Structure 1
């Protein structure tokens, strides 16, 4: 087993994902709040989508950390389900940071709100990279264990469950 498949490495990636999610949530919520208060309208869809993705990611991270720890080798901890959740979250982060970057790039932008929006897009890109890494590890695990039986439970060491 390589170092990148150890429980500690995966948990550290999850912690990084959680911290980046909280950072992006705070920045994008600030931008959404300012935009709604300044223009007396709702937040732009790209900013609202970034907030949505950050909130969904917190729920996803709770699942990806707690379910493997609690349920070990059950149907809830299926490697394909984990890979699917990782892939969907990765796609959401890619779409949200690109949409926000395009939104900020197409307008005259200055001040603290503009800086916060640009920072949210940049940290969203780093979050996408973090989820790309864990998605690649989960796909690698599924690929290595294909054809092993009807149900491929996720490796307990990959998912921080008790060994």
Structure 2
């Protein structure tokens, strides 16, 4: 059974709502992990002098926050473009592009944060990394939702027959 977003708006709106909800949850859990994280300074001694290096929040955690913010904006665009301008061919390609960028950024985001779990940034024995683990799980679920919606959007845009304009 092929799932078509034009034929079943309820499924599309439900998936978009789930994407928004998971993006907000990911923002909250990742934001809490960033807030709770305590950076540390490391004193390194070299033959030509001493060096103090500050280790702050890993970049991957901020990238996951960017993915969540990008999703909120992207889903709003995809909802408006899907409802008001569904017949425009060029906008269909833009929709596929937005879906593909969101899909790839979520894949990169949750994998990059998952790599930090158990490392120096988030040691396995530290209890404060639970919110980061939750953010990673919600990021993976968000990626799965984008796999479904990207597939549906690609089938919708590239599956329709081309009619010449008169």
Coarse TM-score class (shorter-chain normalised):
0.7 to 0.9
Could you list the runs of 5+ residues in structure 1 that have no partner in the other structure? 152-163
In the alignment, the residues of structure 2 paired with residue 89 and residue 9 of structure 1 have an alpha-carbon distance, to the nearest angstrom, of 19
After TM superposition, the runs of 4+ consecutive aligned structure 1 residues lying more than 4 A away are 1-4
1:27/1:117 contact within 8 Å kept: yes
Counterpart secondary structure, 1:93: helix
Which has the bigger relative contact order, CA under 8 A and spacing at least 6? 1
Deviation at 1:39, TM superposition (A): 1.7
Could you list the runs of 5+ residues in structure 2 that have no partner in the other structure? 41-54
- Equivalent pairs counted in the alignment come to 146
2:29/2:134 contact within 8 Å kept: yes
Higher alpha-carbon Rg: 2
Q: 1:150 to 1:82 in 2, by over 3 A?
A: farther
Q: Could you list the per-position Cα deviations for residues 13-55 of structure 1 after superposition, in whole angstroms to 9, with x for gaps in the alignment? A: 00110110000000001111122xx226642101000011101
Match for residue 108 of structure 2 among 76, 87, 95:
95
| Bigger strand share | 2
- Identify the residue that residue 31 of structure 1 maps to in structure 2: 33
Q: Could you list the per-position Cα deviations for residues 83-112 of structure 1 after superposition, in whole angstroms to 9, with x for gaps in the alignment? A: 11101100000000000000113342321x
2:81 matches 1:79? no
In the alignment, the residues of structure 2 paired with residue 74 and residue 97 of structure 1 have an alpha-carbon distance, to the nearest angstrom, of 33
Q: 1:138 to 1:115 in 2, by over 3 A?
A: same
2:150 matches 1:135? yes
